[in-house]
Amino acid sequence: MSSRNKKSKKKEPSDLTIYVVGVGGGGNNSIDRLSRMGVYGARTISVNTDKGHLENKKADKKMLIGLSKNEGRGAGGNPAIGEECAEAASGGFKKLFSDADLVFLTTGLGGGTGTGAAPVITRIARKCGSMVIGIVTLPFSVEGTRKKLAWRGVERIESYANSTIILDNDKLLEVSPDMPLDQGFGMMDSVISNLVKSVTETITRQSLINLDFNDLRSVLGGGGYSTLMVGEAHSKDPKKVVKNAEGNPFLDADYQGAKKALIHLTGESKGLSVKKMNDIVGMVTSKLDPDASVIAGARIDHTCKKKIKMMAIVAGLEKRSISPVMEKEGLSEVR
């Protein structure tokens, strides 16, 4: 790894340079939501080939790419165009990431810009010495052939990123089958922004139990696929927090093979006792590989109103644990 990554090991949390980058329409919508919520200690960046969409979204910095190729009209569902536009803007990305320690890169896979440009941007950020965590959504099956394209994007991003967190839109429909698409996208935007905010602020702000950058690196630094479990329940019932999270997975994967996890809890100070935290962490850990290494962080949030909220990044999933899904999507045909 580069000297910058070694250097960041010694940095104070407040000195870390963290970027949250959204690529393409879906990615920009997630960034818009996160920018409106506010995230302490990180800068939000929106990247798109679509000028009109980009102009209407909130972000600390906006980067229109490929203007000379497509006149700001988007990549029209073609990842090759998205890729070309990102390559043409590589100088801008190198400059942007020259001081980066940690980059969250989020995109809705299946269209042209996100699927084509996100792998290029991931590669450049890594080359600049930053840790990169990809957070990608797979399209709803009703979106047709986009799902195959998306899986190809996942593989390309995974080949460069430190970790790739996969969230499958279809899993939302299993929980709420009649959910309209736009509501589903909105829910994913909210999941993504909460994930980035929780992880970033547990590093950059004083928390009940802090995570530091090295904790993050030890769970998410080693490459591979990850996914998320999110659940909440009344603070009297920690078991239900885990049960609800188990009933709310974001990917069909074999969690028992997961080698690592990062568990983040939020609750009111009265409701979040050490015992409850231990119980929750123990319950999640028991679902993973017996040798899994698990790191937990916790933050007090008085707006939680008697609830405990859990977010667990289940990491180090082996490819074979998600490969039945890949096969179902016909990925082997398109390689």
Ligand X SMILES: Nc1nc2c(ncn2[C@@H]2O[C@H](COP(=O)(O)OP(=O)(O)OP(=O)(O)O)[C@@H](O)[C@H]2O)c(=O)[nH]1
Binding site for Mg ion (CB under 5 A): 25, 50, 74
Residue linked to tokens 């990917």: 251
Q: Which does 108 bind (CB under 5 to 8 A by kind): Mg ion, ligand X, none?
A: ligand X
User: From the CB of 310, what's the least distance to ligand X, in Å?
Assistant: 21
How many residues sit close enough to ligand X to count as binding (CB under 6 A)?
Answer: 25
162 touches ligand X (CB under 6 A): no
Q: Rounded CA gap, 148 and 231, in Å?
A: 29
136 touches ligand X (CB under 6 A): no
Q: Which does 169 bind (CB under 5 to 8 A by kind): ligand X, Mg ion, none?
A: ligand X
Stretch that binds ligand X, among 58-66, 137-145, 200-208, 321-329 (CB under 6 A): 137-145
User: From the CB of 235, what's the least distance to ligand X, in Å?
Assistant: 30
Nearest to ligand X of 111, 238 (CB atom): 111
Strand partners, 107: 23, 136
Q: Which helix (H) or strand (E) holds 43?
A: strand 43-48
Q: Rounded CA gap, 311 and 272, in Å?
A: 14
224 touches ligand X (CB under 6 A): no
66 touches ligand X (CB under 6 A): no
When binding is defined by CB under 6 A, the residue of 41, 77, 223, 257 that contacts ligand X is 77
Nearest to ligand X of 151, 255 (CB atom): 151
User: From the CB of 117, what's the least distance to ligand X, in Å?
Assistant: 8
148 touches ligand X (CB under 6 A): no
Q: Rounded CA gap, 156 and 151, in Å?
A: 9
Residue 24 token pair: 């393409």
User: From the CB of 140, what's the least distance to ligand X, in Å?
Assistant: 6
Closest of 197, 251, 261, 245 to residue 227, by C-alpha:
251
In the three-class reduction of DSSP (H, G, I as helix; E, B as strand; rest coil), residue 250 is classed as coil
Name the region of 76 (left: φ>0; alpha: ψ -120 to 50; beta: rest). Answer: left
- Distance separating the N- and C-terminal Cα atoms of the chain: 29
Residue linked to tokens 């909460």: 194
Q: Which stretches of the chain are DSSP H helices?
A: 3-8, 24-37, 51-55, 67-70, 79-88, 90-96, 113-127, 146-160, 169-175, 181-204, 213-220, 238-246, 274-285, 319-328, 331-334
Nearest to ligand X of 138, 283 (CB atom): 138
Binders of ligand X in range 226-245 (CB under 6 A): none
Nearest to ligand X of 158, 301 (CB atom): 158
Closest of 186, 157, 158, 184 to residue 171, by C-alpha:
184
When binding is defined by CB under 6 A, the residue of 139, 231, 249, 297 that contacts ligand X is 139
Nearest to ligand X of 22, 267 (CB atom): 22
Binding site for ligand X (CB under 6 A): 24-26, 29-30, 49-50, 74-77, 108, 110-114, 137, 139, 143, 146, 169, 185, 188-189
